[in-house]
Every structure is written in structure tokens, then in C-alpha cells.
A and B are shown apart, each in its own frame.
Chain A
């Protein structure tokens, strides 16, 4: 079992719709979770971090965490063509925050259709 799993996509949504991106992880003791966005040919940029069960909202982005199910998701409301990118879920190896090495999922390619 991979440490961090994501559906590679592509996930295609129409402009203005909600995009839902999912991620599962194998280490039940993981405490922090990160979503990065990566445009083609560029390096990842941090979108959201989440540490507690439940929802965390930041603008059009909402991260959802369910530690019992070992599941973290990212919702993008009012999707825009500029949101088209690969979204990477990352979990620190070991117990701790981002000061530990990050294990990345394979990423989900999101395509927002105008």
C-alpha cells in the first residue's frame, strides 16, 4: 500500500462548478496534511494545510480531514480555468509537521473547462 494515494485523473469540471479532490494515507499516526498546486513545468505551491478533523476554509478552497477514515480532501468552489493544474496531497513522514520530509501522492490533474 502506498503511503499517500490519489486518483491521477484527469478530473474535468466545468467552469463555476465545485471540484473535489481526494487523498488517502496509510500512517494512522499522521498529524498534518498539505495540499499543493503544481502548474505544468513549475514547482509546487502550498494551497492549504490542515491538522484537525473537520473542515478548514480559505477563500474558494476547503480542506476536509477525517482521521478515522485516513482521508483528506480538497474542494475548490467556483472553479476557474486558472485552477487547472495538478494537485498534490502531502503528508509528513513520521510524527510532526512540515519540518519533516514530505511524502507526496501522485497528484490529481484537474482540468476546468471554460
Chain B
């Protein structure tokens, strides 16, 4: 069964609004979670590493003030896309580590109109 869940699975919003995506580890604690983004016909690109109880670390070129990450508990990390624009439309996927394996959530498809 699934070990990582994401919510929502799909979201459509207007330009300028903020969207929050939740990533939960199911039945295990994850001190580290990763957030990836995938544009159509491209591979997964790591956006940031989410660390429980501390600040997230962002990959080069990813705006930390635009993509806010909060890892407030050992089973939940959230990604908030602030002031979303059409170019932020993408497939956002989180992952969590259990027994030295990265498991991916089902993904959230964001469409910004």
C-alpha cells in the first residue's frame, strides 16, 4: 500500500493566489522529505529538502520566498506556492525516506490560470 500521501491531488487556482500542498508519511516518521517538480515530458527536478524542526534547504534557482516549506511534524511537510503564476503550473511530488528507500507521494497537479 501507499506509504506517502499528498493532498490535494489536483488543484486549479487563479493567478496571484497561494496554494498549499500537504505531504504525509503514513505509519512512519520522516525527519527528511523532499519536494520535486516535474514539467510535461521532463524529468523530476529536486526543489528542496524539508527537514523536521529546521529550515528547508533549497536547490539553486528555486525561490525560497515563493515556495514556502514547513515540516512541523515527523509525518507532515507542506509546500505553499505563493502568488502562483501560470509558469508555476506543474506536477509537484514529495518523497519520504523509510528504511533507506525513497517513496514518492502520488503527486499534486497544479494548474494556474
Contact A101:B34 (CB < 8 A) given known A88-B44, A106-B42, A107-B43: yes
A49–B106 Cα distance when bound, in Å, is: 20
**Contact mask A70-114 → B, CB, 8 Å, 1/0?**
000000000000000000100000000111011111110000000
A104–B37 Cα distance when bound, in Å, is: 12
A52–B73 Cα distance when bound, in Å, is: 35
CB <8 Å contact, B43 and A43:
no
Label chain A's interface by main secondary structure.
loop
CB <8 Å contact, B101 and A42:
no
CB <8 Å contact, B107 and A42:
yes
Interface centre among B102, B106, B107, B109 (most CB of A within 10 A): B102
A49–B100 Cα distance when bound, in Å, is: 11
